[in-house]
Amino acid sequence: MATTESGYDRDAVRAVLDRARAEGRDSLTAPEGKALADAYGIPVPGEALAHDADEAVSLAVELGLPVVAKIVSPDILHKTEAGGVEVGLSTPDEVAAAYARIVDNARAYNPEARIEGVQIQQMVGGGLEVLIGATTDPTFGKIVVFGLGGVLVEVLKDVAFRLAPVSTADALAQIGDIKAAQVLDGVRGGAAVDRDRLADLLVRLSDLVTDFPEIAEADLNPVFASADSAIAADLRFVLDFAPAEPPKRFTRDEILGAMNRIFKPRSIAIIGASNEQGKIGNSVIRNIVDGGYAGEVYPINPKADEVYGRTAYKSIGDVPGDVDVAVFAVPAKFVAATLDEAGRKGVAGAILIPSGFAETGEKELQDEVLAVARRHDVRILGPNIYGYYYTPEKLSATFCTPYDVAGGTALTSQSGGIGMAILGYSRSTRTGVSAIVGVGNKADIDEDDLLTFFGQDDNTNAIAMHLEDLKDGRAFVEAAREVVPHKPVIVLKAGRTSAGARAAGSHTGALAGDDKVYDDILRQAGVVRAPGLNELLEFGRALPVLPAPKGENVVIITGAGGSGVLLSDAVVDNGMSLYEIPPDLDEAFRAFIPPFGAAGNPVDITGGEPPSTYEKTIRLGLEDPRVHALILGYWHTIVTPPMVFAELVADVVAQARAAGIDKPVVASLSGDTEVEAASAHLFEHGVVAYPYTTEKPVQVLGAKYRWARAAGLL
Amino acid sequence: MATTESGYDRDAVRAVLDRARAEGRDSLTAPEGKALADAYGIPVPGEALAHDADEAVSLAVELGLPVVAKIVSPDILHKTEAGGVEVGLSTPDEVAAAYARIVDNARAYNPEARIEGVQIQQMVGGGLEVLIGATTDPTFGKIVVFGLGGVLVEVLKDVAFRLAPVSTADALAQIGDIKAAQVLDGVRGGAAVDRDRLADLLVRLSDLVTDFPEIAEADLNPVFASADSAIAADLRFVLDFAPAEPPKRFTRDEILGAMNRIFKPRSIAIIGASNEQGKIGNSVIRNIVDGGYAGEVYPINPKADEVYGRTAYKSIGDVPGDVDVAVFAVPAKFVAATLDEAGRKGVAGAILIPSGFAETGEKELQDEVLAVARRHDVRILGPNIYGYYYTPEKLSATFCTPYDVAGGTALTSQSGGIGMAILGYSRSTRTGVSAIVGVGNKADIDEDDLLTFFGQDDNTNAIAMHLEDLKDGRAFVEAAREVVPHKPVIVLKAGRTSAGARAAGSHTGALAGDDKVYDDILRQAGVVRAPGLNELLEFGRALPVLPAPKGENVVIITGAGGSGVLLSDAVVDNGMSLYEIPPDLDEAFRAFIPPFGAAGNPVDITGGEPPSTYEKTIRLGLEDPRVHALILGYWHTIVTPPMVFAELVADVVAQARAAGIDKPVVASLSGDTEVEAASAHLFEHGVVAYPYTTEKPVQVLGAKYRWARAAGLL
C-alpha cells in the first residue's frame, strides 16, 4: 500500500477513479466509495458485500446485528428510490428476507441494471446526524459544506461553506458557523459531540477532492457524531473527468507591471479622439486634458491633424514616443484591428469603452479582441465601460465628467449605471477618492487584478467594489487575503437573491453563484460585504475616515435617551456589544451628568445639558483606555445648538488625537435642519456623523469592526 | 356536568382553580391539569393515579403498555429534576420497579413533599413534536405561542405568537407563520400533520386562559401531532390570583370628544406664558401666534398684564371665555395646582411640556398630577414633551420652531430627541405633515388614543409612530385594526434587541416586551413595522404619496442592467416577487427596446436609449392591466439627462392618472449629482424616487404592499 507522508493512500483512489473513467461512469458504487474513505482515513461503518442471502446472513452475524442492507449496482444511484435499502435488520431471518426483497425491487426498478450484490453494513446511529460534503462551485472551485442533518435543517438550510482545502482551524470555524451550532454542544442534557473529529473529517474530505479534481461532488450524509466518534454512514461520489478550463492567472509581478503603467501612465493615446462635441472620443480627450493629466496625450484620428489642441496621428504606430495606455473610443467592429496596432506599439493597457461585445451577444468578437491582446501582452479593461479615474495622476480617462476630490477610497463597478451612482454620490458628499474604475464585461482585467494593485497603492486606503460575478473566485480570495490585513475591502455582490441572480444572468451572461457560498467565502477572505448600493458608497466613504478600533468595548454617550435605545438596537444588529462599564468608570461618568441620568451604557447625559457636559463625558470616554469606540447621540436643544456640538466634538477628538489617542467616533444627530451642516462638519473632522438616522453611523462602525477583526487587529 | 354551548365545562375548571387558590398554590398537579384539559376538550393520553405499585401495574395493563410514570405531588413542580419521571415502561415488572424508584427519588428530593401517588400514563409518541402554550404578556395580556418541539427549534427559537383568544383562522395563520412550517407538511416522505387539529388545540387553550385570567401560564409540551391526531402529552399550568390592574380604558366617543377639542381647539391657554426670550413659556406663545393659529390665545402669568401682545391673566380661572387646551410651561412642582384650576375651568386637554416627573424618578408627582386630571376629566399629553403640531389648524404648541408644510402624515414620538429628528427631516425633505405629537411619559394619552383620532381624521392619511413601549398593547391592537383598512400605520419599536430593551428600561422605566411578541402581534394587527428611524421617516413621507397597489405583479423597467440586478435583489428582500411577464406583453416590451435588451423582468431597455424608449415602456407598463406596480431604474446618460427623465416620467404618470390608472411607481436614479434634483421633481409629482440607492425605493414599495395586504386590498 503506497501511503504518503500524510497517511493518504493516493494510489488506491487513483485505481478506483481510473476504473470508473475506463467504464465511462460518473459515479461510484458504495464499495468504491468505501475504498476512497479508507484511503483517506474517513471512518465508515464495518461492511462487506454479500452475493446471496446466506452470505448476507453470515456477514451480518460477523459484523454484529443490527445491520443495514443496500443494493450494489453501478446502474442504480438513488438506492432508496429503487427500494434498495432496508435498515434495522436485527435477526438472521430478517437479513435473509431483506436480501431477497432488495434484489427483487432493484430488478423491478431497472431490469437492465447490473446487480453486484447487496452490501451488508453495521448499523450506526444515535448521537447527532450531520452532513459533510464537497462540491465544485463554478466560481470558487472545490468547496466543502457542513451542516446538521435531519429534517429541520433541510428545511431551514443551516449550512456553512469553505474553500477547499481547509485547515483544521478553518474547519473548526466552519463548524461553529452554523446558526444551530449550540446543538453540537449538547442540549437537554445531551453530551457535546467531538468537534475535533468532525473537523478532521472535513479536512480529509477537502484534501481528497483537492488531490483528485475529477471528484466533482462528495456527500458524507449522514455522519453520526457523538462525544467519541464520527462515522460517515453513507457516501456518495459524483465524478467529472472533463472539468471546465480554469481562467488564466497572472503572477503578482505581471499584474503590478501592467497596472502601474495603466494607473500611472507617462503617455496616453486616444483611439478615435474627435473634435466633434457629443462624441465619446471628444468627451474622453477633453476630460483627460481638462482633468489636469500631466503626461503626454496623443489623439489618434485618421481624418484630423489636430484634436483639442494636440497633434493627431493617423495611427498609434505613428506616435513618436512610447505609449503606456490606449483608450478606445471607436465602434466595436474597429477595436480588433486598432488594438493590434496598439499592441505592436507596446501599450500596457487597452481601455475598451465601446459596447457591442458579449453584453449584446457578440461573445465571439470579444474573444477575438482578447486573443489580439494576449498576443501582444496587452491587458484589457472592459469592454463596455465608462472608463477609469485615478486622482493622484489627475487622470479622468472617461466620457463622464472629471472628478477631482482626491482621497483614499478606490471604487470599482461592473455596471456603468452603478459607476455613475458612484460618481454622483462621491461628488455630492465630497468623498475623497483615489480611483473609480469600470470593469464592464471583464474580458481580461478583473477584481483580483485591481485588488492586487490597490492593495499596494499608497494612495489608496480602502477598496469598495460592486460586482455581479467573479471570473475566478479563488484568485479573488487570494488577492483579498493579501490586502485585508492592510486596508478594508468592501464588496457589494449583486444577484444575492434568486430573482437578482436571474437578472444578473441576463445582464452579463455570468453564472450567478449561490449567495450563501459567496457570503461564507467572502467573509472567510475578510471582505466586508455591503448589503446594498447605499452601504457600498457609505462604507467606501466612511471607513477610511475612521481609525481602526483596538478593542471591542463600545460606549454610547447620548443626550437623548430615545436615541440611546435605538443606537443600542443598532449596536446589536451590527455585531457589536455594549461595554459593561466598570463601577469606577461609571462613577466618573456620573460625576458629570444629572442625578437622574441613566446608569451604565448608554451613558444618558439627559436632554437639557450644556456643551460642557457633552465635552467632559466625551473626553472621559476618549481618555479611558478601557473604552475602544464611541457612539454619540446628539439631541438638538437651545442650550447646545448643533454646530456648537459639532465644533466641540471635533475639538475634543483633535486634542485626543494630538495626544496619541486615536479611537473611532461616530455620531447620530437628531434635530432641526441645522444638524445637516453639523454632521458635515464632523465628517470633515474625522467623526463619521449622520443626521436623522440612528442606524447608519452604527452600521459604519460595525463595518469597521468587521474589517478590524478580519485584519487580525482585535 | 355544566357544559356551556361551546362545549366547555367551566364549572369543572372553576372547582380546580378554587381548590388551588384555597390551598395557596400557584401551580396545578398533573391530574388537575388533566381535569382542565378534559373540561376544554384538549386531548391528552389516557391516565390514572396509582397509590401503590400493584395499582400502578393493573392501571398500566388497563391503559395499554408501554406507559410513562410520573410523581404526583403539589410540592414538586419540576418532576424530571426530582427523578420523578420514567418513560417506556413495557412490562408489569418494569412498572412496579419504576413506582418504587420514583417515590424514593421524590422523598430524597424533598422530604417535606406531600406525595399523592404516581400517575400512570399511556405512552404517546411518534409523529411530530410541537409546543403549544399560553402566557400573560405584560404589554398584551394573554397570548398563545406555537412552535415545533425538540432540540433544534429550542436553539433556533422558531415560534409564533398571537393575542388570545384566537379564531381558527388566526390559529392556522399562526401555525403557518413559523419558519420551518414546511416540516408540518411532511418531509422526506413523512405524512403531513393535521393542521386543523393543532389549530383546534390553540383555540381551546386560548379560550381557557381567556375565560380564566388567573391561569398565568399554560404549556402543552410536547404535543404529538400526526395525520390523524394531536395529543398533549404533558401539561403545565401556573396560576396568578393577583394579576396587575389593567390600564384605564376610554370609549371611542370619550377619546374622540377629547381629541377633537385638543387638536382643533377654539382657544388655548398657556400656563406660564412669558415675555422673557429663551424661556419655554415665551417660545410656546410665539410659536402658537407666529405659526398662524386662528383661535383665541390666553397667556396665563400672575406677574404680567400682557404677554406677546395678548392680555395676560393671573389664573386660567380669570379667562373670560371657554378654554379647550391648556399648555403648561411651568416647573413640575407647580403643575398639580395649576392643572386643578384648568380642570375647574373645563379644559379638555393639558399639554404637559415640563420634565421632572417619572423620567427623573418623580413617579409620585406624576401620579398626583394624573389624579388631578382624572378628577376633572382632563386628558393629559406628556409630561416631558416638546408639545404638538397640527397643521390643518396652523397649530404649533411647542417650544421648537413652527412647521407649516401641510400634508397627510401624522407622526408621534415617545422621545423628544426623535421628535426633533422628525421635525428636521420633515423640513429638509418638505414632507407634508398633518401632525407631530410628543407623548413623552404617557401618563395618560398614548398611542391608541392618537390612533383613534388620526384614524378618523380627514386631514391624515398615514400614521407613523416611534414608541419604546405600549401601556396597553391590547388597546393599541384594537385601535390599529380599526385604522389599518383605511390608512397605513407605521411603527418604529425601539428596544428590539436586549441591549436596546435595557436602554429603554433605564429611559422610561417601562418593561420592554420580547421583540418577537411585538413583531408577531403588531403584524397581526396590520401594522407596518419600520426597522429603524430612517425608515420610519421615509415610510411616513412616502407611503401617502404612493397609490395603493391593486395586485402583486411588480415589474422593473431599467436603463441600467446593473441596477436591475440590485433592484431584483431588493424586490425579494422586501417580500415581493417579480411578475413573470406573459409572452404577449414581453413581445410588446421588446418592440420598444434594442434586440440585445434583456428578456423578461426586469425589462432592460439598455443604457444608451433616448427618452422615447423610457416613455414607451413605462406607458406600456402603466396601461397593461396585468401590471400592478412599476419600479424604474434610471441610468444617467447624455442621451436622456436626469431632468428629462424625471419630467417625462412625471408626465406619463400624470396622463395615466388622468385616465383613471393609478399604480404605484417608484424610481432609483443612478448618475451624477443632477439626479438629486430629478428625484425631488419625481417625488413632488407622486413618484417615490431616490438617488444613489437601489434599496430605498423598493423598500418603500414593499412597505406599501405590506399595508395593502393587511388592509385587505389584495
A334 at B interface, C-beta within 8 A: no
**Which triple of cell numbers denotes residue A696?**
447608519
Q: Which of A126-135, B106-115, B314-323 has the lowest mean pLDDT?
A: A126-135
What is the rounded CA–CA span in Å between residue B48 and residue B120?
6
B179 at A interface, C-beta within 8 A: yes
A633 at B interface, C-beta within 8 A: yes
> How many residues comprise chain A?
714
State which residue of chain B sits closest to A420, comparing Cα positions. B671
The tens digit of pLDDT for each residue in B422-434 reads 999 999 999 999 9
- Indicate if the pLDDT at residue A416 is higher than 60: yes
How buried is B195 (Cβ within 10 angstroms: 0-12 exposed, 13-18 middle, 19+ buried)?
A: middle
What is the rounded CA–CA span in Å between residue A373 and residue B306?
87
* Angle formed by the axes of helices B10-22 and B30-39, nearest 10°: 150
- Indicate if the pLDDT at residue B435 is higher than 50: yes
Instruction: Provide, rounded to the nearest whole percent, the portion of chain A with pLDDT above 70.
Output: 96
Give which of A44, A80, A74 is closest to A205, Cα–Cα.
A44
Choose the closest CB to B562 out of A414, A599, A635.
A414
Please report the pLDDT score of residue B163 as a whole number. 95
What is the rounded CA–CA span in Å between residue B169 and residue B180?
19
- Please, what is the average pLDDT of chain A? 92
| Cβ contact A385:A420 at 8 Å | no
Distance of CA B292 to the CA centre of its chain: 36
Grid cell 436609449 — which residue? B609
Find residue A25's DSSP bridge partners. none
Query: Considering only residues 522 to 581 of chain A, which have any Cβ-Cβ distance to chain B shorter than 8 Å?
Result: 531-534, 537, 556, 558-573, 577-578
Conformational region of residue A207, where left means phi above 0, alpha means psi within -120 to 50, and beta covers everything else: alpha
- Residues in A closer than 8 angstroms to B188, CB to CB, are 151, 154
What pLDDT band is residue B188 in, cutting at 50, 70 and 90?
low
A659 at B interface, C-beta within 8 A: no
Greatest pairwise CA separation for chain B in angstroms: 98
Q: In what order do the strands lie in the sheet with B67-72?
A: B47-50, B117-122, B67-72, B85-89
Q: Which residues contact A347 (CB under 8 A, 6 or more apart)?
A: A269, A316, A323, A324, A325, A326, A378
What is the rounded CA–CA span in Å between residue B132 and residue A349?
67
What pLDDT band is residue B507 in, cutting at 50, 70 and 90?
very low
- Residues in A closer than 8 angstroms to B595, CB to CB, are 360
**Which triple of cell numbers denotes residue A307?**
484634436
A192 at B interface, C-beta within 8 A: no
Q: What is the ipTM of this complex?
A: 0.89
- Please, what is the average pLDDT of chain B? 92
What is the rounded CA–CA span in Å between residue A52 and residue A61?
15
Please report the pLDDT score of residue A66 as a whole number. 86
**Which triple of cell numbers denotes residue B555?**
415589474
| Cβ contact B100:B94 at 8 Å | no
The tens digit of pLDDT for each residue in A298-323 reads 999 999 999 999 999 999 999 999 99
Query: Collapsing DSSP states into helix, strand and coil, what is residue B696?
Result: helix
Query: Considering only residues 221 to 280 of chain B, which have any Cβ-Cβ distance to chain A shorter than 8 Å?
Result: 278
Cβ pair A565:B179 closer than 8 A: no
First and final C-alpha spacing in chain B: 47
Give which of A617, A590, A606, A598 is closest to A639, Cα–Cα.
A606
Find residue A236's DSSP bridge partners. A219
pTM of the model: 0.90
What is the rounded CA–CA span in Å between residue B61 and residue B200?
31
State which residue of chain A sits closest to B153, comparing Cα positions. A152
Cβ pair A672:B415 closer than 8 A: no
The tens digit of pLDDT for each residue in B451-506 reads 999 999 999 999 999 999 999 999 999 999 999 999 999 999 998 776 666 554 43
Choose the closest CB to B187 out of A155, A400, A608.
A155
Give which of A316, A345, A319, A348 is closest to A329, Cα–Cα.
A316
Half-sphere exposure of A420 (CA within 13 A, CB side): 31
Give which of B400, B391, B482, B488 is closest to B438, Cα–Cα.
B400
- Indicate if the pLDDT at residue A498 is higher than 90: no
Distance from CA of B416 to the nearest CA of A (A): 7
What pLDDT band is residue B79 in, cutting at 50, 70 and 90?
confident
Distance from CA of B383 to the nearest CA of A (A): 14
What dihedral angle (degrees, nearest 10) is formed by the CA atoms of A639, A643, A649, A650? -160
Choose the closest CB to A673 out of B180, B424, B674.
B424
Please report the pLDDT score of residue B626 as a whole number. 97
Helix (H) or strand (E) holding A522: helix A515-524
Give which of A106, A103, A122, A127 is closest to A61, Cα–Cα.
A122
Choose the closest CB to A568 out of B414, B428, B499.
B499
Query: Collapsing DSSP states into helix, strand and coil, what is residue B88?
Result: strand
Ordered domains of chain A (ranges, CATH): 10-122 (3.30.1490.20), 128-239 (3.30.470.20), 252-542 (3.40.50.261), 554-710 (3.40.50.261)
**Which triple of cell numbers denotes residue A124?**
450506526
What pLDDT band is residue B511 in, cutting at 50, 70 and 90?
very low
What is the rounded CA–CA span in Å between residue B351 and residue B396?
12
The tens digit of pLDDT for each residue in A442-496 reads 999 999 999 999 999 999 999 999 999 999 999 999 999 999 999 999 999 998 7
Query: Collapsing DSSP states into helix, strand and coil, what is residue B110?
Result: coil
| Cβ contact B230:B202 at 8 Å | no
* Angle formed by the axes of helices A695-710 and A561-573, nearest 10°: 30
State which residue of chain B sits closest to A360, comparing Cα positions. B596
Distance from CA of A183 to the nearest CA of B (A): 7
What is the rounded CA–CA span in Å between residue B634 and residue B669?
5
Find residue B238's DSSP bridge partners. B27, B217
The tens digit of pLDDT for each residue in B538-578 reads 999 999 999 999 999 999 999 988 899 999 999 999 999 99
